[in-house]
Amino acid sequence: MITAIKILVALVCIAALAIFVARLIFTLPSMEGRTNSAALAPPDTGPLNNAIMPQWQDHPGKTGVLPLGNGADAFAARMLLADAAVSSIDAQYYIWHGDLTGSLLLNALKRAADRGVRVRLLLDDHGTSGLDRQLASLNAHENAEVRFYNPFVLRGFKLLSYGFDFFRLNRRMHNKSFTVDGAATILGGRNIGDEYFDTGPTAIYIDLDVLAVGKIVPEVAADFDRYWAAPAVHPAGPILGDVPAGDPIGQSVAEFEDNPQMAEYRAILEGSSLIETLRTGSAEIEWTDVILVSDDPAKGMGSVPRGDLLASRLARAVGHIEARFDGISPYFVPGRTGTRAFAALENGGVQTRMLTNSLEATDVLPVHAGYSKHRRNLLKGGTRLFELKRKAATTTPKDKIGPFGSSGASLHAKTFAVDGMRIFIGSFNFDPRSTTLNTEMGLLIDSTAMANQMHDAFDRQLDGMAWEVVLDDGDLRWHGSVSGTVTRREPGSNILKSAAITVIGWLPVEWLL
């Protein structure tokens, strides 16, 4: 026994020494000499300025919002805004894939820089795998700069960095925004990748963005500046190293030339009338009051008081809830505190309903384990729970089901509606990671139309796209809503998954989920 303890102590000491040495060897480049730029004022002229400023003058002090529930529209909006830019593009994302979608949007940024547009691209380095050559090339452009939030020193084997720098790298920037010419911005849940935009052969993520113009845009631009200058944000050049020869971005796009999805994207762009409808004032923009809620980027260094976190400030902005709360969160881990909060709303006469991924639809099994351990108590507290089906059978046309998308999908939207009056659209999940670890952002929008669209979808029991989980004599049952199907076995479960969920539920890892 004593020998085993000695061996264990020796192994711990060796591991500690290895971590200490690795931290000495693999250090981040110095940021001495880093200069920080600021958002540019909207240009005097240009397609976006000419289209939006006259409408804003007709709605002083208001923000115009246009929901982008359809992935194709969300892709077209980003591409067309980038191609319309004459002054600046500031883009901030958690994930940027090197697939067709990511390559096309990087190429759009490069084209803008070629026209003299100033491009600033801020990426969480966790989601940039395989893009070092393309990002180094863009960063080398005289009109573009790339920066990383909490970057990895190891480039080829990023995950190994967690072994010696876990607590820093465990904090990520989950924000998503795309601001053009200081005139228009897109915020929401979508990262940049094929799966977020409803095209191609990949599994589709059901998601929601909003295009905003008017009063909120300078606030989003200022928030971007705050992140751009944050201590956790590093210039990409010293991290990426030598600039590759040739045109890696153009080469990436060329590799997809014969891909059927390329033709699909071309058709989407050719068929989009976004810029024209903005110019003519015929876009279905709602002018209203909007609040930007965004975490302090210092959260990435663990130095933000709990009362100043986005979750706390969002709760204060929402204020008292009178009667209805309907929420969508793909990664729903309420914990004991959240479970009690939902029960308190119910006890106060508020109807609470939540939609999250079912086991068969989730893409992160540990998160489902964190959710399922609180599911029974949520139901006992009165919250109605809906879990998205992997292949949702719906008879409702896609353009009528709002943020809930189409069949064969996994939920990714992060939104909630309150009292038929307000709706939040952003990056925030109802989980510990969004609350205390990752930085988040979103818009709280006064909109009876958008809020009631979500309430109505829940009233229709999501048109058969989700299971409703209920307690029946203390046992869980999954009801197929419209179909009338009832099952005692959790959809998508098997022996291995059930065992994994049970074991993960025992572990003290909920704070990481």
Q: 346 and 205 in one domain?
A: no
With cut-offs at 50, 70 and 90, classify the pLDDT of residue 202: low
Locus of tokens 């590799």: 255
Instruction: Please count the residues of the chain.
Output: 513
CA distances 415 to 42, 343, 491, Å, are 29, 20, 24
Is residue 405's pLDDT more than 50? no
Backbone angles phi, psi at 445, to 5 degrees: -115, 130
Mean pLDDT check: name the lowest of 62-76, 197-211, 429-443. 197-211
Q: 344 and 208 in one domain?
A: no
Q: 243 and 97 in one domain?
A: yes
- Residue-wise over 129-164: b if at least 16 C-beta within 10 A, else e? bebbbbbbbbbbbebbbbbbbbbbbeeeebeebeeb
Say if 147 falls within a structural domain: yes
Q: Specify the amino acid at residue 350.
A: V
Cα torsion at 222, 228, 232, 237 (round to 10°)? 180
Question: What pTM does this model have?
Answer: 0.93
Domain boundary (217, 249, 280) is at 280
CA distances 1 to 4, 10, 12, 27, Å, are 5, 14, 17, 39
- pLDDT value of position 152: 93
CB 478 within 8 A of CB 469: yes
Q: How far apart are CA 444 and CA 426, in angstroms?
A: 9
Q: What is the mean pLDDT of residues 51-69?
A: 91
* Top-confidence residue, 279 or 103: 103
Q: How many CA atoms lie within 13 A of 456 on its CB side?
A: 12
Q: 362 and 337 in one domain?
A: yes
* Top-confidence residue, 300 or 407: 300
In terms of residue numbers, what domain contains 301? 289-512
Average pLDDT over the chain, rounded to an integer: 89
Q: How far apart are CA 403 and CA 208, in angstroms?
A: 6
Say if 22 falls within a structural domain: no
Burial class from Cβ neighbours inside 10 Å (0-12, 13-18, 19+) for residue 341 reads: middle
Locus of tokens 């505190």: 337
Q: How far apart are CA 147 and CA 237, in angstroms?
A: 8
Backbone angles phi, psi at 448, to 5 degrees: -65, -35
Q: 249 and 341 in one domain?
A: no
Per residue in 355-394, pLDDT (tens digit) is 999 999 988 899 999 999 999 999 999 999 999 998 753 3
Q: How far apart are CA 209 and CA 17, in angstroms?
A: 46
* Top-confidence residue, 24 or 262: 262
Is residue 19's pLDDT more than 80? no
Encoded tokens for 87: 């002054």
Question: According to DSSP H, which parts of 364-424 are helical?
Answer: 365-380
CB atoms closer than 10 angstroms to residue 360:
18
Q: What is the mean pLDDT of residues 164-189?
A: 94
Say if 437 falls within a structural domain: yes
Q: 326 and 412 in one domain?
A: yes
Contacts of 159 (CB under 8 A, 6+ apart): none
Q: 122 and 239 in one domain?
A: yes
Backbone angles phi, psi at 53, to 5 degrees: -60, -40
Domain boundary (280, 308, 330) is at 280
Is residue 67's pLDDT more than 70? yes
| Cα three-residue angle 62-65-70, rounded to 5 degrees | 180
Report helix, strand and coil shares of the chain as percent, to nearest 5: 45, 20, 35
Q: 60 and 136 in one domain?
A: yes
Per residue in 292-335, pLDDT (tens digit) is 999 999 987 888 888 888 899 999 999 999 999 999 999 999 99
Per residue in 237-293, pLDDT (tens digit) is 999 989 999 999 999 999 999 888 898 888 888 888 887 888 777 888 999 999 999
Say if 14 falls within a structural domain: no
Say if 353 falls within a structural domain: yes
How many independent structural domains does the chain possess? 2
Q: What is the mean pLDDT of residues 82-91?
A: 97
With cut-offs at 50, 70 and 90, classify the pLDDT of residue 400: very low
Encoded tokens for 100: 């067709």
Rg, C-alpha atoms of the chain: 23
Q: How many CA atoms lie within 13 A of 101 on its CB side?
A: 24
Say if 340 falls within a structural domain: yes
- What SS3 class is residue 488? coil
The percent of residues above 70 in pLDDT, for the chain, comes to 92
Say if 29 falls within a structural domain: no
Q: 299 and 196 in one domain?
A: no
Encoded tokens for 480: 């197929």
* Catalytic center residues: 174, 176, 181, 412, 414, 419
CB 427 within 8 A of CB 175: yes
> Strand ranges (DSSP E) for 105-259?
118-127, 144-149, 177-180, 184-188, 204-206, 209-214, 233-235
Encoded tokens for 385: 């729970």
- pLDDT value of position 24: 64
Q: How far apart are CA 64 and CA 184, in angstroms?
A: 9
Q: 302 and 270 in one domain?
A: no
Q: How far apart are CA 407 and CA 388, in angstroms?
A: 10
CATH number at residue 430: 3.30.870.10
Q: 302 and 405 in one domain?
A: yes
Say if 418 falls within a structural domain: yes
Q: 319 and 386 in one domain?
A: yes
Domain boundary (280, 305, 328) is at 280
